[in-house]
Amino acid sequence: MKGNQRVNVINGIFLALALNLTKPYNAKFALRLGGSDYHVAMISSLPAIVAALSLIPISIWIEQAKDQQKRTAILMFLHKLFYLGMALLPFFHGIDRAAIFVLCVGFMNLPFAAAQLGHQSYVGTIFSPVERGFAMGLRNRYSDSARLLVMIATGQLMLRIPKTNQDFIQLYQIFFILAFLIGLGEVISFMKFSKIESSKKTEGGGIKLVQEVLKRLPEEKEFLLYTACALVFYFGWQMGWPLFSLYMIQDLGADEFWLSVISVSASLFSILSVTFWAKLADEKGNRTVIVMTTFLMALTPAVFAVTKTLPMMALLQIIPGTATSGTILVLFNSLLEVTPTKNRTIYLAFFTTAVNISASIAPVFSVWIKSQTAIVPALLLTAVVRMIGCAALYFRRKTRV
C-alpha cells in the first residue's frame, strides 16, 4: 500500500475499534440504565439534531483553516473525551442516567460528525477520483475486519463475565475507557496523512463563504438532484435504526451476546462483499451499483418482519451485511462525484446537515408508528420508504441533468 492509502486504512481500523466497542450496545445500555423506547429512539435522533444545528458553522471553521488537518484532528480528540464521561456516568445516582447517557450520545456527535466531514473533504483532496474508490474500498475492508474482531471479543466477554445488571454496567465502563484509549490512535494516525496547506482565504469570513456557496447552489443541479434522491432513501434507512434494536431486544429477547452475534454476522458478510462492490463500481459505475445496494437495503425490514428467532435473524444478516458495505461505499463516492471542488467542505456540510435533519425525525417517526400500530407494520412501512428511495436513485440514474 502507498503512504496515504496505508494511513487511511490504519485510521479506519482505529475508528472501527473505538466505535464498535460501545455503539452496538448503546440501546441495551440505555435500557439497563432504566430507559424506555423513546430513549432508544432519541439515541438515533438526538445526534442528528445536534449535527444538523452545528455542521455548517463548523464546516466554515474547517474550510477557512490554513491547516484543515489539525482542526479535524482536534474534533476527533474532543469526540473521544465523551467516552470518559460515559464511563463515569454509572457512579452518579439520583439522576435520570438513561437521559444523561442519551444526551452524551447526542452531543458527542457534534465533534464526531464534523470530524468525519473534515476527513471526507481531506480524502477527496488527497486521492484522485480514480484512486478514491480503491482507497475507500480498502479502508472499508480492513475496518470491517476490525469491527468483526472487536464484536466477537465483546460478545464473548458479555457472555462469560457479567451475572447481574450491575456487572453488565461495569463491563460497559471498561469498554468506554478502552474506546477512549484506542480512539487516540485515530487522532494520531490522521495526522500522518500527507500535509495539504490551504492558501485560500475568503474575504468577509464565514458569512461570505456561505453566501458564495448559496449563490452557486442553484447551478449545481447534479448535486441538488443527488441530495434530493438520497434523502428519500436516507429517511427510510434511518426509520429502521430504532426498530431493529427494539425488535431484537423486546420481541426476540436478544441480550448483549445475541446482539454481538448478529452484529458479527452482518460484519462478516460486509467484509466478504466490500471488494466485490468496489470492483463492480469501478466496472459499472457508482450509479448502477447504488440502485442494486439500496434495493437490497429496502428488502431488509420486510425480511426482518417475518423473522421469529434469533438464529434466523443472525443468518439473515447476509442481506443488510452485504448491502450496507456497498451502500456506504457508493453513497460516499457518488456524493464526491457531484460535489464541487471549490468550497467542498461547505457543500458536504449542506448535504450532511440535510441528512441529519432527516435522521432527527425518522427514528422518532418510526417509533411513533410502532406505538400506534405494532412493530411489524412499522417495519413494512420502513421497507416501502426505502424502496421509494431506491426508485428515486434509479430514476436519477436515468435522468441527464
C-alpha cell at 269: 458478510
Other C-beta atoms lying within 10 Å of the C-beta of residue 29: 24
d(CA 324, CA 322): 6
Q: At what angle do helices 109-126 and 129-160 cross, to 10 degrees?
A: 140
DSSP H or E run through 383: helix 375-398
pLDDT at residue 203, rounded to an integer: 46
Second-level CATH architecture of 3-191+204-398: Up-down Bundle (1.20)
> Which amino acid does the sequence have at 239?
M
Residues 289 and 281 sit within 8 Å (Cβ to Cβ): yes
What sign has the CA pseudo-torsion 251, 255, 258, 264? positive
Residues 338 and 124 sit within 8 Å (Cβ to Cβ): no
> Which amino acid does the sequence have at 47?
P
Residues 108 and 82 sit within 8 Å (Cβ to Cβ): yes
d(CA 86, CA 26): 11
Domain segments of the chain as ranges:
3-191+204-398
d(CA 356, CA 110): 11
DSSP H or E run through 121: helix 109-126
Q: Which of 332, 306, 301, 333 is nearest to 319 (CA)?
A: 301
State if pTM tops 0.75.
Answer: no
Cβ neighbours of residue 260 closer than 8 Å, sequence gap 6 or more: 24, 151, 152, 154, 155, 156, 158, 159
pLDDT at residue 322, rounded to an integer: 92
d(CA 58, CA 349): 9
Residues 33 and 169 sit within 8 Å (Cβ to Cβ): yes
User: What secondary structure does DSSP assign to 23-89, as a single string?
Assistant: GGGHHHHHHHTT--HHHHHHHHHHHHHHHHHHHHHHHHHHHT-S-HHHHHHHHHHHHHHHHHHHHHG
pLDDT at residue 228, rounded to an integer: 94
C-alpha cell at 300: 431488509
CB-side exposure of 62: number of CA atoms within 13 Å?
33
Residues 4 and 126 sit within 8 Å (Cβ to Cβ): yes
Q: How far is CA 355 from CA 237, 261, 290, 318, 362, in A?
A: 11, 29, 17, 26, 10
C-alpha cell at 35: 430507559
∠ Cα 390 393 399 (to 5°): 145
Residues 123 and 132 sit within 8 Å (Cβ to Cβ): yes
Q: pLDDT 10s digit of each residue in the chain, 401 long?
A: 578 889 999 999 999 999 999 888 888 888 888 888 888 888 878 988 888 888 888 878 877 777 888 889 999 999 999 999 999 988 888 888 889 999 999 999 999 988 988 888 888 788 877 787 788 888 888 998 898 899 889 888 988 888 888 898 899 999 999 999 999 999 999 998 887 765 555 445 567 777 788 888 888 889 999 999 999 999 999 999 889 989 999 899 998 889 888 988 988 898 888 889 988 988 888 888 999 999 999 999 999 999 999 999 999 999 999 999 899 889 988 898 898 888 787 888 889 889 989 988 999 899 999 999 999 999 999 999 999 999 999 887 655 44
